[in-house]
Homo-oligomer: A and B are copies of this chain.
Amino acid sequence: MALALAGDGGSHLMLTIFVIFVAAKLAAEIFERLRQPAVAGEILAGIVIGPAVLGLVTPNELTGALSEIGVMFLLFLVGLETKPSDIFRVGGRAMLVAVCGVIVPFICGWLIMLAWGEPRIEAIFVGAAMVATSVGITARVLGQMGLLSLDVSRIILGAAVIDDILGLLILAVVSSMAKGGINYLQILTTAGLAIGFTLLVVFVGARTVSRIRPRIERLKVGQSYLIFGLSLCLALALVASSIGVAAIIGAFLAGMALSEASEGTDMRHQTEAVTEFLLPFFFTNIGMHLNLGAFLNGSAVMLALLVTLLAVIAKIIGCGGAAWTMGRRKALQIGVGMVPRGEVGIVVAQIGLGLGVISDAIYGVVLFMAIATTLIAPPFLAILFRHEKPVDQPPILPISHIS
């Protein structure tokens, strides 16, 4: 009875969730009919219902939390479709793509800000924000096309994980500079933890999961395998997040550790359902952060457009260049796949704003760049990948897991 009567908190919660979910899915449907990627539609839906246009929903703690849980499930799902051996095979290339994809954008961002006459520390922060890669966007587009098993897709995923660790270190260095001095010991510790955690999960995780699988299936609790998977996902997301890496990297590694053992179960199919419900909160949340008010003066608009253009070109040159020997088309696919900055760019900008080293205007510029790169990439990805044949295997559902 009447949870809504407790204030109208209940009613307001339902309204928020309804508006976000339905707006996102309507936009996805329209974009699919126009043969455009659903992801771009969902981000645009966020812009439309958010403060920038209609103001139906304001991003708050709850939408932020649902967004974070949603993208965690997406990366867990992508991990489930990625075997560690698939990534090893492309590991060297992924490393090269990641490193070039960090260096080139950083230098571009730093130089353009210095050329624009901004202070040195602000220039370094914009450079750091341009390093970020939001792997969720590309993963979703490729996943919906059934192309996650392509070598190119695996290079993008691997590079995004390495990118995250490199980006973390750059952010640590930049933040300490902003605070007045660099704590080398702390940065080395962070780096060691992040790399150690990744290698541990990849090398030991999958084997351990395969070994304890019979025991999981003997558990009494209903849906024991799904529950074990979700618990592992949450646990590694927590560990990742507490050593400073993004929670989604932990979720991705958890999925990878489970990828072989989950074959023949319906964990992927069930995770898909959870993701389908929660993911729209992630895409709309990116759109809702767009604040048109930050662009009242023409100079900031010019800078935002310039930074966005450079952010696109720098990743295509850096990452695509590193994959040049694979042929022009694959190099372009990889380059464009690494373009979206999404929520990661927004977070870097927020840290800069919090430390007081970037102005409101520059914050608006970085925000615009993060959202614009995220919107630009999906249609190009769809074009660049349109001749590839779907290669992902559908999940296999044994009868024992259905009943």
Task: Give the B-binding residues of A (Cβ under 8 A).
Answer: 1-11, 13-15, 17-18, 21-22, 25, 28-29, 32-33, 38, 61-62, 64-65, 68-69, 131-133, 144, 163-164, 167-168, 171, 175, 219-223, 226-227, 230-231, 234-235, 237-238, 240-242, 244-248, 266, 269-274, 276-277, 343-344, 347-348, 350-351, 354, 394-395, 397, 402-403
A344 and B164 contact, Cβ closer than 8 Å, known pairs A13-B65, A38-B221 = no
A271 nearest in chain B by CB position: B273
What residues on B are CB-neighbors of A13 within 8 Å? 65, 68-69
Beyond known contacts A3-B248, A5-B351: 17 more, CB 8 A cutoff: A1-B133, A1-B348, A2-B164, A3-B247, A5-B244, A6-B354, A7-B354, A9-B64, A11-B241, A13-B68, A14-B234, A14-B237, A17-B234, A21-B230, A33-B220, A226-B273, A274-B277
Contact check, A274 vs B274: say whether CB atoms are below 8 A apart. Answer: yes
What residues on B are CB-neighbors of A9 within 8 Å? 64
Which of A6, A273, A351 is packed against the most chain B CB atoms within 10 Å? Answer: A273
A227 and B6 CA atoms in complex are apart in Å by 29
A266 and B403 CA atoms in complex are apart in Å by 11
What residues on B are CB-neighbors of A132 within 8 Å? 1
Contact check, B68 vs A65: say whether CB atoms are below 8 A apart. Answer: no
CB-contact partner of A402 in B21, B65, B395, under 8 A: B395
Q: Say how far A76's CB is from chain B's closest CB, in angstroms.
A: 11
A167 and B272 CA atoms in complex are apart in Å by 38
> What are 18 A-B contacts defined by CB distance under 8 Å?
A1-B246, A2-B164, A3-B248, A6-B351, A14-B242, A14-B247, A17-B234, A18-B231, A18-B237, A21-B230, A22-B234, A32-B220, A223-B276, A271-B273, A274-B277, A394-B403, A395-B402, A397-B397
What residues on B are CB-neighbors of A3 within 8 Å? 68, 241, 246-248, 343-344, 347
A144 and B222 CA atoms in complex are apart in Å by 8
Contact check, A238 vs B15: say whether CB atoms are below 8 A apart. Answer: yes
What residues on B are CB-neighbors of A168 within 8 Å? 1-2, 5
CB-contact partner of A22 in B1, B144, B235, B403, under 8 A: B235
Which of A6, A234, A238, A242 is packed against the most chain B CB atoms within 10 Å? Answer: A238
3 pairs of A and B residues whose beta carbons are closest in the complex: A270-B273, A32-B220, A1-B167
Q: Say how far A47's CB is from chain B's closest CB, in angstroms.
A: 19
Q: Say how far A18's CB is from chain B's closest CB, in angstroms.
A: 4
Contact check, A227 vs B25: say whether CB atoms are below 8 A apart. Answer: yes
Contact check, B221 vs A269: say whether CB atoms are below 8 A apart. Answer: no
Contact check, B11 vs A231: say whether CB atoms are below 8 A apart. Answer: no
A347 nearest in chain B by CB position: B6
A33 and B266 CA atoms in complex are apart in Å by 24
Contact check, A246 vs B4: say whether CB atoms are below 8 A apart. Answer: yes
What residues on B are CB-neighbors of A237 within 8 Å? 14, 18
CB-contact partner of A241 in B14, B163, B248, B348, under 8 A: B14
A104 and B218 CA atoms in complex are apart in Å by 45
A143 nearest in chain B by CB position: B222
What residues on B are CB-neighbors of A32 within 8 Å? 220-221
CB-contact partner of A21 in B11, B133, B231, B348, under 8 A: B231
